[in-house]
Structure 1
Amino acid sequence: MTVSHLVIPGAAVPTTPAATPSSDLEAVLSSIDTMAAQEPTAAQIVSMVDSDDTDARTLARILTSDVALAGRVMKLANSAYFGMRGRVTSLQVAVTVVGFPTVRTMATVALSGLDDESRLPEGFWTMSTTVALAAATLAPRFGQRPQDALCLGLLAPLGVALLHHGDREGYAELAAAEPTAAGRRAAEVRRYGIHAFRLTAVALEQWGFPSSMVTPLGAVDDHGSQDGALLRAALEVATRLTVEDHVPVPVEELTGGQLGEDAVVAVLDRVRAEADELRVAMLGE
């Protein structure tokens, strides 16, 4: 099959078939449309695109229909990341603390089944939360909001979960053979005709997420593009913390000189200290 129907604006997506695709990407993408029926509250939140038209009271009222999701929002609001440990006692305040984009991200996690670790590749949430915290910590250096960067980092691996779900054994072999993020993306293109980040971008675009969430995913391999610079830096930080024997790539090269190695040390320390708590909050453990 071809992937010409998966084109993302501004991204160089392959237009030739993968050599031996072992899962039907059209089926993967069509499954995105059926997820809403299984998680109606999460789907309603995801569909509320314009945050300016949604206040905290309305969002809290909708969240009360899903006890598990509401509990995760409360736990995240009381986490170290938001600096409100133990002080948030109402759902409306929790929504205000974490913000609409984060609630929507958490709803997307529930909608797409990312809150069930048994269905995900090993270490999925360790990498996801590490990338998210690294992106949020580095965001001001790139003129971006930490909250938006946190959401991007949390959702970036969605495509990994979709590919793994459709080709569990094959994707496990691919991931074991390619421990680095860049190597894995190249292997994904060879096997499926598209890499996981671009598949994430397709899903987010289909769900109505803004271009600020979609564009960096398509630009992650274009080192000449500043759109993907923050995500590239965050991925490098996460890889240094989670992949044994990783050979560091200078962040100056990944960010077009926007970030130097001197800025990475403090980021590594913070991410190492807080990533596990963020994972627990996102999964409601």
Structure 2
Amino acid sequence: MTAVPLSRPAVDLDRLLAGIDTMAAQHPVAAQVVAVANTEDASARTLADVLAADVALAGRVMKLANSAYFGMSGRATTLQFAVTVIGFTAVRTMATVALTCLDDESQLPDRFWETSTGIALAASALAPRFGSRPQDALCLGLLAQVGVALLHAADQEGYRELAAGQRPFAARRTAEVCRYGISALRLSAVALEQWGFPPAMVAPLAAVDDPTSAEGTLLRVAFELGARHADPEHVPVPVERLSGGLLREDGVAAVLDQVRADAEDLRRAIVGD
């Protein structure tokens, strides 16, 4: 299916980008967590004190700390300790999920969190091979599809049709640019930048579609494995080509086994089920 450019974007892009800033007013505690986590003098106690004002968000932070991924198995019994266990980047990631209503699956595209947890866990598992920290890669994977959620919220029927017709991520991003004037991945980068995430979290999003950029390689491979995990109709792209030879097909099965083992537990921690 070939994407046909429209004479104007299907959504008001300026309004959509401006709306990213207004989300903070609708979720003040989550916005405060994001802001506090960015400060140089932030501490686990400070973040825990802010989180305590939002029972649901605090509960999800506790649940994530005790999830299989972090391996605490119920030993994280205080909010301050949970913040220490998962780290400030993960706390900020959880707050961003709340800020953008990604914890409401009824408002998201089909298989959104199945795909996102697959991307995140694949990125985390492969991070050392690509010179990245597993927890940072996990957070990047969890937030990589923020732009998908924002475009879907602005144009639900249109985005569902687009996603159904363009299953490979690269082709979908081309169709997104034709329809909206921006790809979901670029929109994710803009949103994270506006919320004060460091360049190390933003730059890989911009580099995914540049095959010559090493900065986007880990996320490029993670998108492929996330699709293999979540989409039974996905046509695999050779990972040797995507990874520049850093991952071979014979290494994929072990990563996907790990993704399948932890994906549902991670999803439940993120959305609060």
Q: Same fold (TM over 0.5)?
A: yes
Identical-residue share of aligned pairs (%)? 65
Match of 1:6 in 2: none
Structure 1 residue 50 displacement after superposition: 3.6
- What is the aligned counterpart of 1:68 among 18, 39, 56? 56
Residues 102-121 of structure 1 aligned to structure 2 (within 5 Å): 102-121=90-109
- Contact 1:19–1:191 (Cα < 8 Å) also in 2: no
- The Cα offsets for residues 248-268 of structure 1, whole Å up to 9 and x where unpaired, read as 211111111222223222110
Letter in 2 for 1:28: L
Is the counterpart of residue 143 in structure 1 residue 125 in structure 2?
Answer: no
Runs of 4+ in 1 over 2 A off after TM superposition: 17-20, 48-52
Structure 1 residue 51 displacement after superposition: 5.7
Structure 1 residue 247 displacement after superposition: 2.2
Q: Matched residue of 1:82: which SS?
A: coil
- The Cα offsets for residues 131-173 of structure 1, whole Å up to 9 and x where unpaired, read as 1111011101011001100010000000001101111111011
Bigger Cα displacement from structure 2, 72-81 vs 233-242: 233-242
User: Normalized against structure 2, the TM-score is what?
Assistant: 0.95
Structure 1 residue 48 displacement after superposition: 2.8
Letter in 2 for 1:103: V
Letter in 1 for 2:72: M
Residues 153-192 of structure 1 aligned to structure 2 (within 5 Å): 153-192=141-180
Letter in 2 for 1:281: A
- Contact 1:223–1:255 (Cα < 8 Å) also in 2: no
Query: What 5-or-longer segments of structure 2 have no aligned partner?
Result: none
Q: Matched residue of 1:81: which SS?
A: coil
Bigger Cα displacement from structure 2, 55-64 vs 245-254: 245-254
Q: How many residues align?
A: 269
Match of 1:9 in 2: none
Is the counterpart of residue 77 in structure 1 residue 65 in structure 2?
Answer: yes
Residues in 1 aligned to 2:151 and 2:191: alpha-carbon distance in whole angstroms: 12
Letter in 2 for 1:114: L
Residues in 2 aligned to 1:188 and 1:71: alpha-carbon distance in whole angstroms: 35
- What is the aligned counterpart of 1:44 among 32, 35, 43? 32
Match of 1:88 in 2: 76
User: Normalized against structure 1, the TM-score is what?
Assistant: 0.91
- Contact 1:229–1:254 (Cα < 8 Å) also in 2: yes
Letter in 2 for 1:90: T
- Contact 2:130–2:218 (Cα < 8 Å) also in 1: yes
Letter in 1 for 2:97: V
Q: Matched residue of 2:234: which SS?
A: coil
